[in-house]
Amino acid sequence: METVNDKRRMREIKVVERVLSVNARMAEQNRRRFAEKGVFVLNVMSSPGSGKTATLQKTLERIMPEIKAAVIVGDVSTTHDADRLSVTGAPVVQVNTDAFGGDCHLAAHVIEKAADEIDLAATRLLIIENVGNLVCPAEFDTGSNKNAMILSIPEGDDKPLKYPLMFSVCDILVLNKIDSMGIFDFDVPALERRVRVLNPGILILTASCKTGEGIERWTAWLRDEIRHSRQQ
């Protein structure tokens, strides 16, 4: 027999499906808009504090001004990350999601509005620093060309088991804070095995924003992807 709870649950599932399908349509519109302007879009996701902003600071220092880059950065509140990234000279748009219910991700319609603040004709690379969270950002397509994930050593090697979707939707995984390896019991081969079950094609790099290890390989990957997108 169907209970009141079953009915409520069905209604909730339908609402979530509708929200995701509206987002998927909006994301496709974003993708077309960015492609028309010749803008390559990279969506960077991770837990809070894994090192998204630190990685992007290092990245922008290395690739600008040769590659004209802009950033959309999402946080529930504050302009801390925008302030840190603006130092690189890149135009930065900060989105505070507490203005619209404290969303734990950047939805495609939010990216559309934020992109209005950027001179897309003068931009080759648009980087999205998503809100720190391993669940919702994986569900909401932004319209990016590539998705990158940063996992830091202190978070542990079991994260692909707990948050499989995030590891499935990313093209590259940067294993950051490798300098802290001696402090934590982190099994890199086990992590790689768990990730490859979900996503056999993903590229996995190790890095440290503290020592600079691995940052050149990461920026080389990014340069290749931008070059490749131009040829297509």
The continuous run of DSSP H or E covering 166 comes out as helix 164-168
Residue 160: name its binding partner from ligand GTP, Mg ion, none (Cβ under 5 to 8 Å by kind).
Answer: none
CB atoms within 10 A of CB 78: 11
Residue recorded with tokens 């890149």: 90
Of residues 54, 92, 151, 169, which one binds ligand GTP by CB under 6 A? 54
- For the chain, how many residues are written? 232
* Piece in contact with ligand GTP (CB under 6 A), picked from 16-24, 48-56, 87-95, 222-230: 48-56
Write down the least CB distance from residue 130 to ligand GTP, Å: 9
Q: Give the DSSP letter string of 51-79.
A: SHHHHHHHHHHHHTTTS-EEEEEEESS-S
Residue 210: name its binding partner from Mg ion, ligand GTP, none (Cβ under 5 to 8 Å by kind).
Answer: ligand GTP
43 binds ligand GTP (CB under 6 A): no
* Piece in contact with ligand GTP (CB under 6 A), picked from 23-31, 106-114, 203-211, 217-225: 203-211
CA angle 193, 216, 207 (to 5 degrees): 40
Orientation angle between helical segments 4-36 and 108-115, nearest 10 degrees = 30
Write down the least CB distance from residue 153 to ligand GTP, Å: 8
Residue 102: name its binding partner from ligand GTP, Mg ion, none (Cβ under 5 to 8 Å by kind).
Answer: none
Tokens read off for 38 = 């010749």
Tokens read off for 222 = 């990014």
Of residues 45, 60, 62, 81, which one binds ligand GTP by CB under 6 A? 81
Q: Where on the chain is the footprint of Mg ion (CB under 5 A)?
A: 52-53, 81
